[in-house]
Amino acid sequence: MDQGIDRRSFLKLGAAGSALLATGSSLTLLTGCSSNDGPAAGYRHFRQQDVDLLTPLVGAVLGKALTDVGASAEDGMKAYDDLLDGAMPGTRATLFQILDLMQLGAARWFITGTWASFAEQSEDELQQTLAHWSASDRGLSRMAFKGLTQPMFMAWYVKPEAARSTGYPGPPQKIVA
């Protein structure tokens, strides 16, 4: 595989204005979605279309990490939203560009190998999509997989209840007079 070509295509994506993003933005016109929409109800950063897109994926990626502590995919999605508090505005904007792109079936097919939106896939189908996506030798797919899923784990396992579910007993008690 030529990493160089894939790397360049990703850099174009990050920088916006590429052919890929042009496709994405025409889609946003068709669907009425726009990167400038405000956050969804109950969220500080993710927009409603992001919540619809990603919540099923968060549920599949975190899986038992959520259910073992009685949490839902929505809890995982809200943790992801909390994590974005620390990001710079430009970092969030880049993430939103990728999510806008993934609203498009062709882009989902190119990146994940599956045309259907995550919400339209059964649990088994989502696990198959993740198996295919995570093993892809396409540079852009690898970058998107890491870029989207790595923060899900960090976001979830920094929550004290999730942290303790790993066997970590938790930090000492800081007591301020």
Partner 1 sequence: MQDLSSLPIKGINDPWKTGIKNGWDVIDGRTVSADRTLEADVVIIGTGAGGGVSAEILTQRGLKVILIEAGKLMSSDDFTLNEGEAYRDLYQEGAMRATKDAGMTILQGRTVGGTTVVNWTSSFRTPSETLQYWQDTFGVEDLLRNDLDPWFQKMEERLKISQWIMPPNANNDVLKKGCDALGWEWAVIPRNVEGCWNIGYCGMGCPTNAKQSMLVTTLPAAMNNGATLIHSAQAHRLLIDGDTVTGVEVRPLNNDKVPTGATVTVKAKTVIASGGGIQTPALLMRSDAPDPQGRVGKRTFLHPTTFTFGIYDQEVAPYYGAPQSLYSDEFVFKHGVDGPAGYKLEMMPMHPGLTGALMGGYGGDARNEIERLPNLASSIALLRDGFHADNPGGNVELRDNGEPVIDYPVDAYLLEGAKRSHLTMAEMHFAAGAKEIRPSHSHAGYYKSWKEAKEAINKLAYDPVITGLGSAHVMGGCAMGQDESQCVVNSDGSYKYLNGLYIIDGSVFPTSLGVNPQLTIYGMSARNATALADKLKA
40 binds partner 1 (CB under 8 A): no
Amino acid at 156: W
DSSP 8-state code for residue 120: G
Q: Which of 37, 52, 117, 159 binds partner 1 (CB under 8 A)?
A: 159
Size of the site for partner 1 (CB under 8 A): 59
Min. distance of Cβ 30 from partner 1 in angstroms?
26
Within 114-153, the residues that bind partner 1 by CB under 8 A are 127, 130, 134-135, 137, 139, 142-143, 146-147, 149-151, 153
How far, in Å, are 52, 71, 100, 171 from residue 23 at the CA level? 20, 36, 10, 47
CB contact set of 29 (below 8 Å; sequence gap of 6+): none
Tokens of 42: 């109950």
* Interface residue list for partner 1 (CB under 8 A): 1, 3, 7, 10-11, 14, 60-65, 68, 82-91, 127, 130, 134-135, 137, 139, 142-143, 146-147, 149-151, 153-160, 162-163, 165-177
